């Protein structure tokens, strides 16, 4: 379907996210013919990047870095629609004039506004108030970047500021993990097959691991990390959202309301965290990073245990782990099955000594699912050997029927289509802050860990039966 004409206003347009994800995302949507026929992009921020021509040159460089085989024609067309207008929370008059001017050129009052707020948490509220004052929220969809506040109180205040100027239907709280192909595929695997769902509960599953180690360290994001930390950057956002999709009941229909109701019900049932079952770490050398305090206590690693106290999951630990400067970059969800109840191959304790029976979802760009099983060792005796089923979706689905988009561009497209299914609703955010608040009130001690390791020792011991990745 043809999208209506759009004016996109990107705050933080000279920042890292804009350069690495947002402009490349717009480019790829344009290259795939998925942008509206008529649109304009207005970058904004407090500091001007120079003339519009200079801004476009910087963007072209950013595109060249992120996009292989940049198509000059597509890039030229995109950049020709881009300009920059300075603004700040106290003064948005010039920006408002620029938006109206772009709209007049595109067709007046039917033009949609997409306002993307890629700004630090502290700047968010004043910016939102400015948008309201300048009337920029009319006909607008407002995209808000995580972490949606810094604790329960500030998140409620941010939410109130949003609700002062827009309705919930206009708010798109972006968590780009929900734009990942593999995450959306969890819904297909679970609810379009008869195989998995009957085993998807506490009767069959002993524990779940949601493991997102990263090798990268700060890469210039020291000041962001100092104010955010790993819990807010990754756990109360990305990892909790993954848990939501793993744990939810089947939504009544594929609508934003039904999917978000189902996910929200999971978060309602999540038990607030127990600081004694959480391990914080900080990699050696973090304090020497640019813009990091010499005696910073900020965590760059978190491992913790979560429980979903409902009929399906009662008593099943969900282990969440993520951190910077670790041994590998992976996004791996492991559902570990309980031991078989029978004794044909020895009692459960003897079986437990075998490699585990795991269902593993690798959330890579090419969706991969793997089930590790015990099979019969070829030969005259009925002995066991490790085996596995392995599904590599990219190998199985012919290119003509696949239409891959990366997370950010998929979500940008959803905003333009007005589809909130894969965006976080205000009640989810509120509940997740309630869940993590105990760790903000009583910070677990921060253990040092070596770069390139799997984090502090205390975290290795947290997961019963051990982490799958190690
Ligand atoms: C971002 C976090 O939201 O997600 C980063 O701020 C993290 O700290 C990144 O590295 C991971 O995203 P992806 O898509 O590379 O897995």
Distance 449 CA to ligand 1 centre (A): 20
- 430 ligand 1 Cβ < 6 A: no
Mean pLDDT of 277-304: 98
- 159 ligand 1 Cβ < 6 A: no
- Return d(Cα 447, Cα 282) in angstroms, integer: 6
More confident: 410 or 349? 410
Residue 366 token pair = 């090419």
Q: What is the dihedral of CA 286, 292, 298, 304, to 10 degrees?
A: -50
Confidence of residue 215 (pLDDT cuts 50, 70, 90): very high
ipTM above 0.95, yes or no: yes
- 145 ligand 1 Cβ < 6 A: no
pLDDT in tens, 379-421: 999 889 999 999 887 777 777 777 778 899 999 999 999 999 9
Exactly one of 6, 238, 390, 447 is catalytic; name it: 238
Distance 233 CA to ligand 1 centre (A): 8
> Hey, whose CA ends up nearest to atom 13 of ligand 1?
177
Mean pLDDT of 430-443: 97
Q: Which of 213, 215, 236, 238 to mutate to test the pocket of ligand 1 (most atoms within 8 A of CB)?
A: 238
pLDDT(353) > 90: no
Distance 300 CA to ligand 1 centre (A): 13
Confidence of residue 157 (pLDDT cuts 50, 70, 90): very high
- Return d(Cα 276, Cα 384) in angstroms, integer: 38
Mean pLDDT of 412-436: 97
For the chain, what is the mean pLDDT?
94
First to last CA, the chain: 46
pLDDT on residue 209: 98
Confidence of residue 341 (pLDDT cuts 50, 70, 90): confident
- Return d(Cα 262, Cα 252) in angstroms, integer: 9
Count of other CB atoms within 10 angstroms of residue 226? 16
pLDDT on residue 71: 96
Mean pLDDT of 203-219: 97
pLDDT(343) > 90: no
- 233 ligand 1 Cβ < 6 A: yes
Residue 170 token pair = 């206009």
Confidence of residue 164 (pLDDT cuts 50, 70, 90): very high
Are 63 and 24 spatial neighbours (Cβ–Cβ below 8 Å)?
yes
pLDDT(142) > 90: yes
Residue 54 token pair = 């200079």
pLDDT in tens, 67-124: 998 999 999 999 999 999 999 999 999 999 999 999 999 987 789 999 999 988 888 9
State what percent of residues in the chain have pLDDT above 70. 100
Q: Which residues of 191-222 are buried (b: 16+ CB within 10 A; e: fewer)?
A: eeeeebeeebeeebbbbbbbbbbbeebbeebb
- 181 ligand 1 Cβ < 6 A: no
Residue ranges of alpha helices (H) inside 379-450 are 393-396, 407-417, 426-441
pLDDT(342) > 90: no
Ligand 1 atom at shortest distance from the alpha carbon of 237: 3
pLDDT(295) > 80: yes
Confidence of residue 168 (pLDDT cuts 50, 70, 90): very high
pLDDT on residue 354: 86
Ligand 1 atom at shortest distance from the alpha carbon of 407: 14
pLDDT on residue 421: 97
Distance 208 CA to ligand 1 centre (A): 21
pLDDT on residue 57: 96
Residue 22 makes CB contacts below 8 A (sequence gap 6+) with 10, 13, 116, 118, 408, 412
Are 352 and 319 spatial neighbours (Cβ–Cβ below 8 Å)?
no
- 175 ligand 1 Cβ < 6 A: no
Of 308, 242, 239, nearest in space to 270 by CA: 308
Side-chain half-sphere exposure of 446, counting CA atoms within 13 A: 20
- 414 ligand 1 Cβ < 6 A: no
> Hey, whose CA ends up nearest to atom 6 of ligand 1?
233
pLDDT on residue 398: 76
Mean pLDDT of 424-449: 97
- Return d(Cα 404, Cα 367) in angstroms, integer: 11
Confidence of residue 366 (pLDDT cuts 50, 70, 90): confident
Residue 400 token pair = 């003509």
Mean pLDDT of 204-225: 95
Is 6 considered catalytic here? no
């Amino acid at each position: 379907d043809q999208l209506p004409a759009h004016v996109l206003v990107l705050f933080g347009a000279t920042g890292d996210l804009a350069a690495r994800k947002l402009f490349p995302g717009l480019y790829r949507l344009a290259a795939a013919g998925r942008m509206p026929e008529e649109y304009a992009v207005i970058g904004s921020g407090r500091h001007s990047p120079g003339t519009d021509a200079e801004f476009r040159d910087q963007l072209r460089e950013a595109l060249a870095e992120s996009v292989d085989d940049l198509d000059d024609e597509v890039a030229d067309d995109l950049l020709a629609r881009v300009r920059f207008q300075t603004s700040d929370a106290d003064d948005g008059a010039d920006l408002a004039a620029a938006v109206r001017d772009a709209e007049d050129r595109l067709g007046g009052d039917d033009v949609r506004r997409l306002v993307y707020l890629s700004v630090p948490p502290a700047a968010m509220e004043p910016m939102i108030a400015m948008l309201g004052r300048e009337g920029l929220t009319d006909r607008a969809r407002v995209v808000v970047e995580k972490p949606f506040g810094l604790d329960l109180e500030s998140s409620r205040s941010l939410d109130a500021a949003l609700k002062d100027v827009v309705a919930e239907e206009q708010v798109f709280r972006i968590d780009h993990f929900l734009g990942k192909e593999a995450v959306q595929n969890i819904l297909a695997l679970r609810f379009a097959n008869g195989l998995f769902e009957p085993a998807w509960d506490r009767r069959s599953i002993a524990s779940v691991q949601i493991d997102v180690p990263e090798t990268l360290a700060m890469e210039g994001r020291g000041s962001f990390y100092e104010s955010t930390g790993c819990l807010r950057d990754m756990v109360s956002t990305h990892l909790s959202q993954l848990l939501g999709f793993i744990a939810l009941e089947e939504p009544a229909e594929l609508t934003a309301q039904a999917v978000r109701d189902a996910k929200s019900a999971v978060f309602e049932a999540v038990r607030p965290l127990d600081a004694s079952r959480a391990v914080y770490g900080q990699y050696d050398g973090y304090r020497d990073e640019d813009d990091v305090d010499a005696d910073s206590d900020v965590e760059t690693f978190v491992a913790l245990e979560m429980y979903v106290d409902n009929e399906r999951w009662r008593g099943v630990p969900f282990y969440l782990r993520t951190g910077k400067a670790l041994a590998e970059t992976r996004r791996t969800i492991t559902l570990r099955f309980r031991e078989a109840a029978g004794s044909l191959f020895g009692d459960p304790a003897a079986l437990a000594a075998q490699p585990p029976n795991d269902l593993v979802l690798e959330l890579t760009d090419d969706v991969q699912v793997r089930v590790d099983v015990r099979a019969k060792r070829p030969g005259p005796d009925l002995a066991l050997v490790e085996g596995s089923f392995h599904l590599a979706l990219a190998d199985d689905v012919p290119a003509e029927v696949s239409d891959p988009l990366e997370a950010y561009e998929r979500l940008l497209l959803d905003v333009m289509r007005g589809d909130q299914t894969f965006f976080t609703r205000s009640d989810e955010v509120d509940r997740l802050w309630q869940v993590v608040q105990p760790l903000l009130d009583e910070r677990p001690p921060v253990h040092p860990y070596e770069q390139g390791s799997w984090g502090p020792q205390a975290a290795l011991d947290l997961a019963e039966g051990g982490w799958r990745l190690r």
